[in-house]
Amino acid sequence: MSSVLSDFHFGPRFEVAVLSRVGTGAQTRLENQDNFVVIDVDGCACHMLDQVPHRLTLPDWPAGHGRIAVLDGMGGHGHGREAAEAVAAGLLAVPACTGGAELARHLDALHARLQRQFPESDGLARPGTTLTLLELPPGTAPLLYHVGDSRLYELGRERALPLTVDHVPATVAAMAGRIGEGDWRRQVHGQHAPQISQAFILGNAFAHPARLDDPLYELTPARLPSWLGHLADRRALTLHPDCAYLLATDGFWSCAHPDAFVRRWPGLFAHCADAAAMVESLFAALDREPPPGLQPDNLTALVLRPVARHPDETALPLDAAQVPQGKI
């Protein structure tokens, strides 16, 4: 197995570990079109370039601030890897943000700029990439920005709780009232289909399902069904110190019964001492006992783990806003 990257410094608040692989088993994709971004509190950054981790230091990065993200490149001219690399590089140039509106403004501008860099050509759509990102300002709530069908999970002792909504046709149908909660859950979490309704650079098919529009379409509480409204794309998060948080691309649930595999994750993580061990455990489970019907796909997993503190220590707050905890 490739080495898990975990030598990042996130101060007294978090541990971070990440691993990206072209796939698992005998059949894999020709290249790894996934990517990730880690910027630690010292401004030390890491992302994938030409399918290998690339490190650099951001000289103007403010001390104490962090950023993590996973990306899954796709489609268009066959330049999915290049699209994900362009977004990852762009994230290194986005200044540290302390508010959700500021973060969204910078990322929406990056989306528009990269659309000009990757124009439609000869009737082919632009390439695109998912983007699931956490901004980690010091002393306040982490900020989520989500596009596509990569996911953020909260992993507790007994369950794996998704904290994002997949941008897929089933979500379009649910927003239009054509399917209800049970059908949506079965289609999104009980099976897997390689279809997407929105991606960074690519654009969105939410506003007009019959065509692809340039802007990103934010899934707000007002736009989502009531049973998904607490999982808006752009929001502050409450992180719980007894949980771990997994950002992952869809290769981990590209199988016949993804919900059954996901239910195994809390048990896999239960006895892991740190974030690196959690990442190793997840990949080892795929290698050792792959779920039925697992499809060849790229795999990227990034674990953010709040650091346990002694009761006498004064901890920096993990959050500044309470978010309703819905059951998926």
Q: Residue 327 region, left (φ>0) first, then alpha (ψ -120 to 50), else beta? A: beta
Angle at 141 between CA 312 and CA 97, to 5 degrees: 130
CA distance 236 to 234: 7
CA distance 225 to 262: 24
The 3-state DSSP class for residue 169 equals helix
> For residue 28, what pLDDT is reported?
76
CA distance 233 to 218: 6
Per-residue pLDDT of the chain (328 residues; tens, 9 = 90+): 579 999 999 999 999 999 999 988 767 778 999 999 999 999 999 999 999 999 999 999 999 999 999 999 997 556 899 999 999 999 999 999 999 999 999 999 999 999 999 887 766 778 999 999 999 999 999 999 999 999 999 999 999 999 999 999 999 999 999 999 999 999 999 998 889 999 999 999 999 988 999 999 999 999 999 999 999 999 999 999 999 999 999 999 999 999 999 999 999 999 999 999 999 999 999 999 999 999 989 999 999 999 975 443 333 444 433 333 333 4
CB of 31 within 8 A of CB of 20?
Answer: no
CB of 46 within 8 A of CB of 16?
Answer: no
Residue 39, C-beta contacts closer than 8 angstroms, at least 6 positions apart: 45, 58, 61, 65, 66, 67, 68, 92
> For residue 320, what pLDDT is reported?
37
The 3-state DSSP class for residue 100 equals helix
> For residue 311, what pLDDT is reported?
40
Angle at which helix 100-117 crosses helix 80-93, to 10 degrees, equals 140
The amino acid present at 217, given as its one-letter code, is Y
CATH 3.20.20.80, domain 14-167+233-306, yes or no:
no
Residue labelled with tokens 């949506």: 184
What ranges do the domains of the chain cover?
A: 14-167+233-306
CA distance 284 to 295: 16
Q: What is the pTM of this model?
A: 0.92
